[in-house]
Amino acid sequence: MIGIVGGVGPYAGVDLLQNVYDNTLAGKDQDYIDTMLYSMSSQIQDRTEFLLGKISENPGYSIARIIVNLESQGATVAGIPCNTAHAPAIFSVVKEELEKKGSRIKLLHMIEETIDLIRTHFSHFSKIGVLSTTGTYKYKLYANVIKAGGFEPVEVTSQMQEEIVHPAIYHPEYGIKSTNRPFHPQAKANLDLAIDYLKEKGAEAVVLGCTEIPLVITSEIEKGLVMINPTNVLARALVKHANADKLKPFGIAEKL
């Protein structure tokens, strides 16, 4: 059984579940892998606010408790559809807490899975752009692994991050986290501006490094650039670990 830590945010958990199904080879209901989604956003503190020092309670503790609950219900592999939750300050606490509980569940790492996919399918690229929350941006969660993977990371300026990208996610009136479907068009407009900037700086692909961003940037190719969706990457990894025979072939590279 696949376990999904929902609520980070709520739509991101649903989106991961949908991506799991979209990447599964199935001819009837019974062919799909058993999956459990726990969406308990009220119990999980905001990851970016923790990293920026705005709150003191580490969300890793509540995430770990949810994973333990998923395992108790039969989950054997789990994923957290929140890039910022994979910051070492949070993810290390999750792993430590699972160890203390004697957990045997396989917890996947969204960012590591994403860079592995880039190495496998897009090794011919040299510059990889990143869009993310300010927490992920300041801690360089993607920039560092992209560089370590042999690519050149391309990021927006700090001003653009604060005034354009982060508000697309968190703005109280039009941010993706602050609204629901249909999402406010201003969020998409902000992200389009950021993608234009990354393209001008030579990016050949863009990692959509916040799980809310793929909710409005839905195309695999945008403005001529490959959109690398970590939610989809994580979904594919979950299917592969649960039952590799049910994983659909990866199709984006074939469209280039």
Are 212 and 11 contacting, i.e. CB atoms less than 8 angstroms apart?
A: yes
Could you tell me if 86 and 155 lie in one domain? no
The model's confidence at residue 251, banded by pLDDT at 50, 70 and 90, is confident
Could you tell me if 116 and 53 lie in one domain? no
Could you tell me if 225 and 245 lie in one domain? no
Which spans in the chain are helix H? 10-22, 47-51, 60-72, 88-100, 110-121, 134-138, 141-148, 158-160, 166-170, 185-200, 230-243
In a domain, 26, yes or no: yes
Could you tell me if 184 and 245 lie in one domain? no
Give the tens place of pLDDT for each residue, 30-72: 999 999 999 999 999 999 999 999 999 999 999 999 999 999 9
Residue span of the structural domain in which 130 resides: 110-229
Could you give the number of structural domains in the chain?
2
pTM over cut 0.75: yes
Are 238 and 80 contacting, i.e. CB atoms less than 8 angstroms apart?
A: no
In a domain, 256, yes or no: no
Give the tens place of pLDDT for each residue, 110-143: 999 999 999 999 999 999 999 999 999 999 999 9
% of the chain with per-residue pLDDT over 70: 98
Could you tell me if 210 and 239 lie in one domain? no
Are 36 and 4 contacting, i.e. CB atoms less than 8 angstroms apart?
A: yes
Are 85 and 50 contacting, i.e. CB atoms less than 8 angstroms apart?
A: no
CATH number at residue 181: 3.40.50.1860
Could you tell me if 117 and 73 lie in one domain? no
Could you tell me if 170 and 95 lie in one domain? no
In a domain, 27, yes or no: yes
Could you tell me if 81 and 123 lie in one domain? no
Could you tell me if 83 and 33 lie in one domain? yes
Q: How far apart are CA 34 and CA 168, in angstroms?
A: 34
Could you tell me if 185 and 196 lie in one domain? yes
In a domain, 22, yes or no: yes
Q: Would you give the distance in Å from CA 215 to the centre of its chain?
A: 11
Give the tens place of pLDDT for each residue, 180-222: 889 999 999 999 999 999 999 999 999 999 999 999 999 999 9
Could you tell me if 94 and 172 lie in one domain? no
The model's confidence at residue 256, banded by pLDDT at 50, 70 and 90, is very low
Could you tell me if 92 and 44 lie in one domain? yes
Judged against a pLDDT cut of 70, whether residue 252 lies above it is answered with no
